[in-house]
Every structure is written in C-alpha cells, then in structure tokens.
C-alpha cells in the first residue's frame, strides 16, 4: 500500500470512530434532554392540577355543604371537577396536553381506565411506596410522555361522596347513580392521575440539533482530510517521488538528470541535500574510476 493509502485509511478509521462515538453520545444526550424537558412540564402541570383538587376539597367543598347548595354548586367542591376545569383552561393554550383521572371503580364512567392506565393503577396498588411512574407511549399524534401519580384516599373528606350513596349528597347520587364510585376506603389507592404531554416537538428539535451537529462535524472532518492530503502531497509525496525517480535513474547509471532542488530545513530537504552529496561523490568516484589507466 502506498503512503497516501496508509495515511488515508488510518485517517478514515479515526474519523469514522470519532463520528460514530460522538453521534451515539450526542443523540442519546439530546434525546434525554428532550425527555427531561417534557417531564418537567408534565410535573408542573401535575402540581397545578393537584393544587386545584386540594383547594376544591379543603376550601370550597366544606363551605358549600354548609349552605346546602344545588347540584351545580356542589360540583364546585368536587376535586375531580376542579381538576377537569383547570385542564380545560390549560388545553385552550396547549391542546395537545392531556390529563386523566382514572379509578378502577369510578363515579363517572368516563374515568374507567384503559388497559395501559389500569396497569399503572394496579402497579401503584401493589406497591404503596411507589409515588410516580412515567414512560413513553405511541399515540395517533406521535409519541407522548405520560406521568402518573397514585390517587390515595388520604382525607376523610373524600369519603363524604365516595362511601355509600346514602352518605353522599343526593344531587350527586341523582346525577351519577348509586352503582359506581362508592366503597372507597381511607388509605386505599383507588386510581391514578395521568398527565400526557406530546414528545414530538422536542424530539424533532433534538433531531434537528443532532443533524446540524453531525453535518458540522462531518464538514470539519472533510476539510481536515482534504487539507492533510494536500499537505501530505506537497510536503512529502511529490518531493519523494521526484527523488525516487532520480535515484532510480542514477541506479541505472544515468547521471544526466539534474540535482534535487530542495529548499528548506525539513527532513525531506535534509534527505535531498544528503542525496545530492552522495550523488556528487558517486560521480567523482566514477570519474576517478574511469580515468584509471587500463579501466
Ligand atoms: C362533593 C363530593 C365529592 C367529594 C368530597 C370528593 N369527590 Fe371525588 N368525585 C365526586 C364526583 C361527583 C366525581 C365525578 C366527577 C366527574 O363527573 O368528573 C368524582 C370523581 C372522582 C375521581 C375520578 C374518578 C371517578 O370516580 O370518576 C377521583 C379519582 C376522585 N373523585 C377522588 C376523590 C378524592 C381523592 C377525594 C378527596 C380528596 C374526592 N374525590 C372527594 C365527588 C366527590
């Protein structure tokens, strides 16, 4: 293999490894960042909704029941209703953000969990120390990140509407019936809050950044490759080839060719100067040899 071939294959190997490694790590990092950003958005949304729920059950509900208001007013003290209203407002600005409050035995049947949601609720029920679960799912609109928290009956205030139809406000029993959403116990994990946030935009941004980064890096490598090849050619290969040709001719006894004309102080120039001296000595030796009588 010629010098250029050896040099270039080593260069390509190093560039290939460097591109592969930086591609792998930067892709992973960018995607992690995108997920982290979405997860923190989901957490903020979750906290907001949680605050609305707490406010409804602690502040609004007790006051309403004392005044014995109608169904519409009673709903103001229902934490799930407060959560739904907050979410409706959020969705005006962020229509792709979602929130579900699911229960295995829900008051409102639309809160019955889908299979994947039921799995989450059951995982919270089987491990009470687990306070959060998140993951990524495919939806019709692309990948979404979900963040789930367990709903545990921590306050006896909840049981005012979720124990038996008899104990619940009649207006609500009339609206939701006396079948579902009762029999919940204190400390029981009855369901989960699930926030969903679209991942497609941050992931697209991460991919765009990844492509820009890789294109720039490849550009730098191509420029370095071309530059190194030009330098290798000018500084070593073309000069050494000329020297090799002349040396070849001399080895065949042809002294007609001119001397190397190498300026500078680099190794090739030193080599050519030595070669020139050797050639002159050789010419002299040949002349001496030829001038010997009888030669
Ligand atoms: C004033 C009565 C009332 C109180 C108090 C109340 N809830 Fe409810 N809850 C309801 C009603 C009514 C619904 C159905 C609302 C709807 O249509 O979205 C509901 C819905 C829910 C849901 C959604 C699943 C389902 O059953 O439809 C959860 C979870 C829930 N409540 C948990 C709680 C917790 C936890 C507390 C205490 C912090 C609580 N509730 C206190 C009346 C109440």
- Considering the domain delimited by 28-207, tell me its CATH architecture: 2-Layer Sandwich (3.30)
What are the residues facing 101 on neighbouring strands? 193
What are the residues facing 133 on neighbouring strands? 148
Give the pLDDT confidence score for residue 246 in this predicted structure.
87
Q: Measure 71 CA to ligand 1 centroid, in angstroms.
A: 14
Ligand 1 neighbour 191 (Cβ under 6 A): yes
Q: Which helix (H) or strand (E) holds 137?
A: strand 133-139
Cα–Cα distance, 97 to 201 (Å, whole number): 12
Cα–Cα distance, 261 to 272 (Å, whole number): 8
181-237 pLDDT tens trace: 999 999 999 999 999 999 988 989 999 999 999 999 999 999 999 999 999 999 899
Cβ-proximal residues to 50 (8 Å cutoff; 6+ apart), any chain: 149, 193
Give the pLDDT confidence score for residue 216 in this predicted structure.
97
Counting residues of the chain whose pLDDT is more than 70, the rounded percentage is 98
Which residue's C-alpha comes closest to atom 38 of ligand 1? 158
Q: Measure 267 CA to ligand 1 centroid, in angstroms.
A: 86
Ligand 1 neighbour 87 (Cβ under 6 A): no
Give the pLDDT confidence score for residue 243 in this predicted structure.
87
How do the domains of the chain map onto residue ranges? 28-207, 209-291
| Radius of gyration in angstroms for the set of CA atoms belonging to the chain, rounded to a whole number | 40
Q: Could you tell me the pLDDT band of residue 21, with boundaries at 50, 70 and 90?
A: very high
Cα–Cα distance, 166 to 178 (Å, whole number): 9
52-96 pLDDT tens trace: 999 988 888 777 765 555 777 788 888 999 999 999 999 999 999
Ligand 1 neighbour 57 (Cβ under 6 A): yes
Ligand 1 neighbour 117 (Cβ under 6 A): no
What's the mean pLDDT in 44-54? 94
Ligand 1 neighbour 113 (Cβ under 6 A): no
118-172 pLDDT tens trace: 999 999 999 999 999 999 999 888 889 999 999 999 988 889 899 999 988 888 8
260-285 pLDDT tens trace: 777 788 888 888 889 889 888 988 88
């Amino acid at each position: 293999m010629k010098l250029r071939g050896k040099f270039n294959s080593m260069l390509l190997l190093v560039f290939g490894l460097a591109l592969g490694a930086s591609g792998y790590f930067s892709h992973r990092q960018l995607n992690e960042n995108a997920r982290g950003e979405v997860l923190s958005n989901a957490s903020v949304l979750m906290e907001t909704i949680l605050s609305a729920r707490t406010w409804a059950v602690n502040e609004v509900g007790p006051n309403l029941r004392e005044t014995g208001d109608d169904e519409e007013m009673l709903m103001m003290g229902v934490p799930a209703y407060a959560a739904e209203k907050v979410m409706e407002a959020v969705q005006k600005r962020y229509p792709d953000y979602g929130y579900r409050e699911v229960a295995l035995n829900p008051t409102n049947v639309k809160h019955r969990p889908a299979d994947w949601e039921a799995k989450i609720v059951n995982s919270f029920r089987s491990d009470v120390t687990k306070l959060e679960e998140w993951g990524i799912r495919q939806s019709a609109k692309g990948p979404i990140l979900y963040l789930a928290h367990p709903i545990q009956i921590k306050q006896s205030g909840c049981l005012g509407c979720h124990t038996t139809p008899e104990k619940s406000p009649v207006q609500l029993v009339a609206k939701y019936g006396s079948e579902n959403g009762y029999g919940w116990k204190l400390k029981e994990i009855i369901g989960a809050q699930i926030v969903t946030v679209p991942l497609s935009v941050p992931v697209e941004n991460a991919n765009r950044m990844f492509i820009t980064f890789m294109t720039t890096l490849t550009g730098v490598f191509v420029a370095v490759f071309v530059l190194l090849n030009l330098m290798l050619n000018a500084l070593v290969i073309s000069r050494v080839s000329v020297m090799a040709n002349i040396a070849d001719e001399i080895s065949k006894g042809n002294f007609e060719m001119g001397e190397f004309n190498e300026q500078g102080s680099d190794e090739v120039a030193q080599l050519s100067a030595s070669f020139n001296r050797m050639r002159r000595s050789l010419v002299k030796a040949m002349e001496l040899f030829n001038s010997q009588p009888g030669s």
